[in-house]
Amino acid sequence: MGVSTRTSDHAQRPQHRARIVTGSVIGLLTAGAALGAGELTAGLWGTSAPVVAVGDAIVDHSPTVLKEFAITVFGIYDKVVLVCGVVATVFLVAALAGVVALRRPAVGYAVLVLFAAVGSLAVLVRRTGEPLAAVPVLVAAAAGAVALFLLLRGAPQPVAIAPEPVDDPVTTGGESDLAAEEDAPDKHTGAGAPDSQPPTEGASRRGFLLTGAGVLTLAMAATAAGRYLGAGADAQAARASLRLPAPAEPLPSLPSGVDLNVPGLTPFTSPTTDFYRIDTALTVPRVAPQEWRLRVHGMVDEEIELSYDELLRRPLIESDTTLTCVSNEVGGDLVDNTRWLGVRLADVLRRAGVRSGADQVLSTSTDGWTCGTPTEAVMDGRDALLAIAMDGEPLPFQHGFPVRMVVPGLYGFVSATKWVTDIKLTRFADESAYWAQRGWAVKAPIKTMSRIDVPGPLEEVPAGPVTLAGVAWAQRRGIDAVEVRVDGGDWGKAQLAEVPGIDTWRQWTRTVDVDAGRHTFEVRATDSSGNAQPEQRAEPIPNGASGWHSVQITAE
Ligand SMILES: Nc1nc2c(c(=O)[nH]1)N[C@H]1C(S)=C(S)[C@@H](COP(=O)(O)O)O[C@H]1N2
Ligand SMILES: [Mo]
């Protein structure tokens, strides 16, 4: 009797420790699964991750002195420290709850419910009237419950180590806890236990480890994916709540005659949702303005760094500029026009002080794409912008939010860096940009070009008068004339729409008479420097397509 009691004391100590370890692991993994699921759902949902929401709620409801204290002590890392504190608390409570849950699972689930309640409260006090914002918290709790269930089911059952007469109690008690535990299975089953035996503790431990590893992997993957997606959530929220400052130099509203109102003709101002998009980005970068910085360096007198707020405090100007892609084929639609709002890049460069000889403005986007623009083009007085808005709205993410470059007169690949964060003054002789390295031109001014929008290719029209209409562009020079001809006949001048300046495309229209049958219409433009658009065809590579656009139609 006395011996048996003593032996079970020895045996219970390792058991006790094993239970604490197992229980803590279960608790930590459950918390990991819950937080991971919360991060992922928040990332997909576009709201704050549960821990961040709790952190925000704490910030909102803590006294100013405390906030100031945190900022003084932790500086810009105060938010990080706070979130880490929340996470540490969750894990600590979870570890304790896990130990208890091993014996009383209900306690584990109750703690999850408690977390869900606290988390939901934290989200909802901030986002009143948005009950769905609590979804990530609820999903987190549900994932935690599933993980807890699986882990508890797979947990090695603490096996009572019954004293066996042959055992020397001193040896058993003297062994390390780990060794005593490790030995336990053999004592019950012996080596090479037949498969028909109920699962041994060794088997159940392996199962538990597998379950644990699975939960851990999923939790980490979910956290990573959620973080990745969620990075956009901040940016999205910031963009949505952005108030655009008024321009220091507003433009008058567009002349009423910019649109000729011919059905089917491309509108003068491209709706932003239809604006062509060209870039190398697999996923659209979502940069939060509060995180955005522009570094200006290289061949400058003084390197500078600008925050988004600093940029917005500089005088903003408006500019009507038509953007064109060098890959645009004759007749293609990789060209669009809008009114941009931004800061003059020349002003920013002048502040840094451009050194002589720096003939290239090499700009880089957050995703590492580079673009080389002649310094001259930026400094010569044209509306070379660090743009923040188009058509009265903050740039959409896919068009470069929060800041992009726009330089009239140059194809986009040498001028229009989206998500721009770095500008280096350098020499064309020393460094080359992304597309220049890939066989495209180093310098690429936009060629004079015209396009027929109406009638469309192979359209059938009634014989008699047919209205032709389209757009023409020659940014920096302006369109002086557009001519059309039918079936290679005489060129006839088209009527031109009004334009606000020389950097936009210009609508044109002309009515011609056609007999029944097939006809070919051709168009050509002349810019204000007197250059007529050449007939000779050129491929887009290396410096832009050329040639006359034509359409064939049938008149009946
Ligand atoms: N970061 C980045 N900016 C970029 C590009 C790119 O690939 N990455 N492509 C350029 C090209 S080739 C063009 S034509 C314009 C197109 O701008 P949009 O997509 O806003 O129309 O963006 C330019 N800016
Ligand atoms: Mo382009």
> Ligand 1 centroid vs 286 CA: distance in angstroms?
15
Are the C-beta atoms of 265 and 468 separated by less than 8 Å?
A: no
Cis link prior to 402 (omega < 30° from 0)? yes
Q: Token match 């880490």: residue? A: 84
Shortest-distance atom of ligand 1 to CA 365: 1
CA distance linking residue 549 with residue 523, whole number of Å = 6
> Token digits for 228?
């990745």
Say how many CA atoms lie within 13 Å of 449 toward its Cβ: 31
CA distance linking residue 53 with residue 326, whole number of Å = 45
> Token digits for 384?
């070379």
Overall average pLDDT of the 480-495 stretch: 98
Percentage of the chain beyond pLDDT 70 is: 87
CA distance linking residue 457 with residue 55, whole number of Å = 59
Give residues (CB < 6 A) around ligand 1.
Answer: 275-281, 323, 325, 365, 369, 399, 412-413, 416-419
The bound ligand whose nearest atom lies closest to the alpha carbon of 322 is 1
Backbone torsion region of residue 19, taken as left when φ is above 0, otherwise alpha when ψ lies between -120 and 50, otherwise beta: alpha
Predicted confidence at residue 9, as pLDDT, reads 53
Quote the pTM value. 0.69
Question: Does residue 196 surpass a pLDDT of 60?
Answer: no
CA distance linking residue 19 with residue 13, whole number of Å = 10
> pLDDT for 498-537, tens place per residue?
999 999 999 999 999 999 999 999 999 999 999 999 999 9
Question: Does residue 293 surpass a pLDDT of 70?
Answer: yes
Ligand 1: residue whose CA is nearest its atom 4: 417
- Per-residue pLDDT band for 174 (boundaries 50, 70, 90) equals very low
Question: Does residue 8 surpass a pLDDT of 90?
Answer: no
Following CA atoms 141, 144, 145, 148 in sequence, which dihedral angle do they give, to the nearest 10 degrees? -160
Q: Which stretches of 487-532 are assigned E, i.e. beta strand?
A: 492-493, 495-496, 506-514, 517-527
> Ligand 1 centroid vs 222 CA: distance in angstroms?
31
> pLDDT for 17-34, tens place per residue?
888 999 999 999 999 999
Ligand 1: residue whose CA is nearest its atom 5: 279
Question: Does residue 95 surpass a pLDDT of 90?
Answer: yes
Shortest-distance atom of ligand 1 to CA 324: 14
Ligand 1: residue whose CA is nearest its atom 15: 412
Are the C-beta atoms of 507 and 258 separated by less than 8 Å?
A: yes
> Ligand 2 centroid vs 485 CA: distance in angstroms?
30
Question: Does residue 57 surpass a pLDDT of 50?
Answer: yes
> pLDDT for 417-455, tens place per residue?
999 999 999 999 999 999 999 999 999 999 999 999 999
Go through 242-275 and write b for each residue having 16 or more CB atoms within 10 A of its CB, e for each that does not.
beeeeeeeeeeebeeebbbebeebbebbbebeeb
Predicted confidence at residue 203, as pLDDT, reads 66
> Token digits for 248?
């220091």
Question: Does residue 472 surpass a pLDDT of 90?
Answer: yes
